[in-house]
């Protein structure tokens, strides 16, 4: 499981590795407030899991609050290499003169941990090892013996940094190794590790891939899922993060479980589920649908509601509002039946939304749409 940048940076920071001050926000207004808190100038970074965000336009600098608002406005809802931006990091823009590379990986060929380091940070390590393998320092660590001091000193002497930085890089290597071991990482990477003119080293980006079981044990979920659950709670939504790609919204626990089983039986996996409970208003449905549209791993939303106390027209209104807000860019399939069904149907028919009254048909349509899109 790959952690999203801010989760990784938080772990590094907790382990005592210097990182920039940052906040994670979910709309332009919050971005402006965050910029005031961390201090201008700032860098706005799309919290997506795809690599090479910088090149793909996911990392932008802002000098003023106006700029923060404008750039954040453009970032939110945009797509970086096919992944929708639902969250942005606002980080202090650290002025630096050099970019280093530092990582620790599992080396399956030799069954060791491998420390990789380079003065040529900022670029992809694959590219670096292809184009300038001599610039990539490799020190392997026997997992049974653990990290020895001479290995740390070797990394630092091969990097050949200005003298004052040697103890700092050594400290970071040790701490990164601790994170790597403690979280059962397959990869713990800092790229770039910035070297500032006043002689500091600061981790500007973190890529941590941790063992799936360890991730569960430590409460990490794909793409900041635990955070998502907390956020949903604040909105009064009953949300549970999973790892597939179909986001499920239902009313009532029984219907929710039945819908999940149905998706599984069709060979797909739910990305999450959200139980609206009884008597959901248009507003609540709107919040729920929007919330799922914003989850990076949700490729399609399947909403399955049996209207009783809940009214179909309210549900339909909420759906349409969220759908329009995303200008139809997100996929949703709806099964809606019961109270005020006709009114609900009419509202939905004005949009290009798959609508069904029977549950198996809706689930099949959801799976079909995903199969044709990927
Ligand atoms: P990636 O493209 O997904 O790896 O995103 P990074 O977080 O590594 O950012 C890409 C590039 O943006 C880095 O190599 C830096 O040159 C630059 N960058 C990122 N964060 C900062 C920052 O806080 N300050 C400055 N000056 N540059 C940054
Ligand atoms: Mn990077």
Per-residue pLDDT of 110-169, as tens digits, reads 899 999 999 999 888 888 899 989 999 999 999 999 999 999 999 999 999 998 999 999
Which residues have any ligand 1 atom within 6 Å of their CB? 20, 43, 45, 51-54, 59, 91, 93-94, 96, 99, 122, 191-192, 204-205
Q: Encoding tokens for residue 25?
A: 């926000």
Q: Which residue's CA is minimally distant from atom 22 of ligand 1?
A: 93
At residue 327, does pLDDT exceed 60? Answer: yes
**Is 194:204 a contact under the CB 8 Å cutoff?**
yes
Q: Residue 82 has which token pair?
A: 């096919």
Atom number, ligand 1, closest to the C-alpha of residue 92 = 23
Cβ neighbors of 42 (< 8 A, separation 6 or more) are 34, 35, 61, 62, 68, 90, 91, 92, 93
Q: Give how far Cα 132 sits from Cα of 54, 121, 122, 158, 253, Å.
A: 21, 12, 14, 15, 56
What pLDDT shows up at residue 166?
97
Query: Rounded mean pLDDT of 208-213?
Result: 84
3-state secondary structure of 91: strand
- Residue located nearest, by CA, to atom 13 of ligand 1: 122
Cβ atoms 209, 185 nearer than 8 A: yes
- From the CA of 90, the nearest ligand is 1
Longest dimension (CA), the chain: 76
Residue 270: which of 295, 288, 307 has the closest Cα?
295
- Report the nearest-CA residue for atom 4 of ligand 1: 52
The CA 114 to ligand 1 mean position distance, Å, reads 24
Binning pLDDT at 50, 70 and 90, where does residue 231 land? confident
State the average pLDDT for the chain.
Answer: 93
**pLDDT at site 84:** 82
CA–CA distance, 218 with 206 (Å, rounded to integer)? 18
Can you name the residues that pair with 208 across neighbouring β-strands?
A: 188
Q: Which atom of ligand 1 is nearest to the CA of 51?
A: 3
* Contact status, residue 248 vs residue 302, Cβ threshold 8 Å: yes
**Nearest ligand atom owner, CA of 63:** 1
Instruction: Give the atom of ligand 1 at the shortest distance from the alpha carbon of 52.
Output: 2
Q: Tell how strand 112-118 and strand 98-107 pair up.
A: antiparallel
- For the CA of 207, the nearest atom of ligand 1: 4
Q: Which of 6, 101, 239, 286 is catalytic?
A: 101
Cα(301)–Cα(288) distance, integer angstroms: 10
| Burial category of 200 from C-beta neighbours within 10 Å (exposed 0-12, middle 13-18, buried 19 and up) | middle
pLDDT tens figures, 6-18: 999 999 999 999 9
What is the pLDDT at residue 258?
96
Instruction: Answer positive or negative: Cα dihedral of 325, 327, 333, 338.
Output: positive
Active-site position among 5, 92, 98, 189? 189
CA distance 116 to 121: 11
Give the pTM.
0.68
Query: How far away, in angstroms, is 175 Cα from ligand 1 center?
Result: 21
Name the phi and psi angles at 35, rounded to 5.
Answer: -65, -35
Long-range CB pairs of 167-175 (<8 Å, 24+ gap) are: 168/200, 168/201, 169/100, 169/102, 169/201, 171/16, 172/17, 172/18, 172/102, 172/201, 172/203, 173/102, 173/115, 173/117, 173/147, 174/147, 175/12, 175/15, 175/16, 175/17
Residue of 54, 93, 194 to test ligand 1 pocket, by largest number of atoms within 8 Å of CB:
54
For residue 101, indicate whether it is catalytic: yes
Question: Looking at ligand 1, which residue's alpha carbon is closest to its atom 14?
Answer: 122
Residue corresponding to tokens 């997506």: 48
User: Cβ–Cβ contacts within 10 Å for residue 44, how many?
Assistant: 27
């Amino acid at each position: 499981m790959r952690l999203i940048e801010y989760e990784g940076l938080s772990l590094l920071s907790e382990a005592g590795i210097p990182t920039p001050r940052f906040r994670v926000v979910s709309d332009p207004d919050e971005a402006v407030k965050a910029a005031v808190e961390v201090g201008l100038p700032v860098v706005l970074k799309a919290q997506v899991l795809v690599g090479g965000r910088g090149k793909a336009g996911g990392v932008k600098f802002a000098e003023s609050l106006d700029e923060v608002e404008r750039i954040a406005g453009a970032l939110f809802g945009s797509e970086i290499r096919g992944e929708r931006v639902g969250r942005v990091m606002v980080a202090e823009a650290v002025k630096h003169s050099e970019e280093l590379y530092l990582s620790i990986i599992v080396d399956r060929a030799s069954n060791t941990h491998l420390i990789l380091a380079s003065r040529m940070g900022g670029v992809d390590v694959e590219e670096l090892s292809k184009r300038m393998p001599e610039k990539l320092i490799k020190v392997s660590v026997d997992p049974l013996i653990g990290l020895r001091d001479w290995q740390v000193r070797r990394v630092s002497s091969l990097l050949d940094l200005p003298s004052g930085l040697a103890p700092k890089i050594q400290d970071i290597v040790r701490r990164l190794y601790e994170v790597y071991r403690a979280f059962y990482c397959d990869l713990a990477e800092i790229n770039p590790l910035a070297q500032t003119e006043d002689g500091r080293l600061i981790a500007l980006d973190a890529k941590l891939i941790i063992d799936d079981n360890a991730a569960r044990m430590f409460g990490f979920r794909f793409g900041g899922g635990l955070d998502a659950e907390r956020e949903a709670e604040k909105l009064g939504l009953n949300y549970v993060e999973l790892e597939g790609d179909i986001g499920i919204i239902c009313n009532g626990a029984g219907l929710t479980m039945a819908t999940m089983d149905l998706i599984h039986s069709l060979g797909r996996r739910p990305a999450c589920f959200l139980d609206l409970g009884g008597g959901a208003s248009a507003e609540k449905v709107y919040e729920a649908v929007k919330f799922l549209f914003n989850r990076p791993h949700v490729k399609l939303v399947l909403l399955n509601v049996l209207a009783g106390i809940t009214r179909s027209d309210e549900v339909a209104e909420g759906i349409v509002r969220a759908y329009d807000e995303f200008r139809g860019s997100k996929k949703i399939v709806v099964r809606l039946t019961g109270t005020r069904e006709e009114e609900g149907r009419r509202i939905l028919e004005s949009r290009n939304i798959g609508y069904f009254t029977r549950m198996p048909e809706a689930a099949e349509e959801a799976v079909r749409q995903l199969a044709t899109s990927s």
